């Protein structure tokens, strides 16, 4: 089935889940989730697979083993393309009460990848190329950041480096936020996601070329 928008009550589902995050409510409303959230998301990703690749839709269940928050369900639906252990780039989509978020990049690099990332940021040729990519994303309404940022310059780099803000990032991801709007419930949402992911293409290409996959053994839990 072709994607024709998220269900009309998709965002309301997450509002009510946040207020009733328990198994009883989930079981009573799972069909709502499947019809308005998960099925449309899967149709969207299937429609875009030829251009961007196969996606993985995340499970709606939270891993509460190491968290003080024991609520069992995620209050968002998300999927990723290209998430392989030690990979250099991804594409991402996230639907919640706040609307739609799209993203891409290297979210949590391994130690050797982070070292190569910083070297490439610091080098004039690759660093200035990245600055242009960041500026283009900003012009397109996006932002570039990371899951964590150092308070000071990383070891071996000067605090007055012209790209110190990028050097302090412990990863590199581009993101675009779309607040709730009527187009989320129409086929226009697919065109918005595709346009965002195309805008993120240069960042992922830069990461693949200058960072590449990790050569370290993958951690085990």
Longest dimension (CA), the chain: 57
176 assigned to some structural domain: yes
Instruction: Please report the pLDDT score of residue 86 as a whole number.
Output: 72
Do residues 25 and 211 lie in contact, with contact meaning Cβ atoms separated by under 8 Å? Answer: no
Query: Beta strand 77-81 with 143-145: parallel, antiparallel or unpaired?
Result: unpaired
* More confidently predicted of 64 and 93: 93
User: For the segment 96-155, what is each residue's pLDDT rounded down to a tens digit?
Assistant: 999 999 999 999 999 999 999 999 999 999 999 999 999 999 999 999 999 999 999 999
Instruction: Please report the pLDDT score of residue 217 as a whole number.
Output: 83
Domain that holds residue 43: 10-62+71-210
* Burial call 123-159: b when 16+ CB within 10 Å, e when fewer: eeeebebbeebbeebeeeebebbbeeeeeeebeebee
pTM assigned to the model = 0.93
User: For the segment 154-206, what is each residue's pLDDT rounded down to a tens digit?
Assistant: 999 999 999 999 999 999 999 999 999 999 999 999 999 999 999 999 999 99
Q: Residue 2 contacts by C-beta under 8 Å, 6 or more apart in sequence?
A: 43, 47, 187
Do residues 75 and 14 lie in contact, with contact meaning Cβ atoms separated by under 8 Å? Answer: yes
Instruction: Please report the pLDDT score of residue 220 as a whole number.
Output: 61
Look at the chain and report how many structural domains it folds into.
1
Do residues 97 and 17 lie in contact, with contact meaning Cβ atoms separated by under 8 Å? Answer: no
220 assigned to some structural domain: no
Instruction: Please report the pLDDT score of residue 83 as a whole number.
Output: 78
Do residues 22 and 49 lie in contact, with contact meaning Cβ atoms separated by under 8 Å? Answer: no
216 assigned to some structural domain: no
User: For the segment 51-87, what is each residue's pLDDT rounded down to a tens digit?
Assistant: 999 999 999 999 999 889 999 999 999 999 997 767 8
CATH number of the domain to which 201 belongs: 3.30.930.20
User: For the segment 5-46, what is each residue's pLDDT rounded down to a tens digit?
Assistant: 999 999 999 999 999 999 999 999 999 999 999 999 999 999
């Amino acid at each position: 089935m072709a994607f024709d928008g998220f269900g009309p009550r998709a965002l309301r589902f997450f509002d009510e889940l946040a207020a009733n995050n328990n198994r009883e409510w989930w079981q009573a409303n799972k069909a709502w989730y499947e019809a308005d959230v998960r099925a449309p998301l899967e149709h969207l990703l299937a429609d875009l697979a030829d251009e961007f690749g196969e996606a993985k839709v995340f499970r709606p269940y939270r891993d509460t083993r190491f968290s003080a928050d024991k609520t069992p369900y995620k209050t968002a639906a998300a999927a990723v393309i290209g998430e392989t252990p030690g990979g250099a780039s991804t594409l991402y989509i996230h639907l919640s009460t706040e609307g739609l978020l799209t993203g891409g990049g290297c979210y949590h690099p391994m130690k050797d990848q982070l070292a190569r990332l910083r070297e490439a940021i610091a080098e004039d040729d690759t660093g200035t190329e990245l600055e242009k990519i960041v500026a283009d994303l900003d012009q397109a309404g996006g932002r570039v950041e990371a899951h964590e940022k150092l308070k000071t310059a990383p070891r071996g780099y000067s605090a007055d480096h012209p790209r110190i803000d990028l050097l302090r990032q412990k990863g590199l991801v581009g993101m675009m936020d779309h607040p709730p709007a009527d187009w989320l419930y129409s086929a226009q949402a697919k065109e918005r996601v595709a346009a965002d992911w195309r805008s993120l293409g240069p960042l992922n290409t830069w990461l693949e070329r200058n960072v590449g996959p990790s050569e370290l053994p993958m951690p085990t839990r």
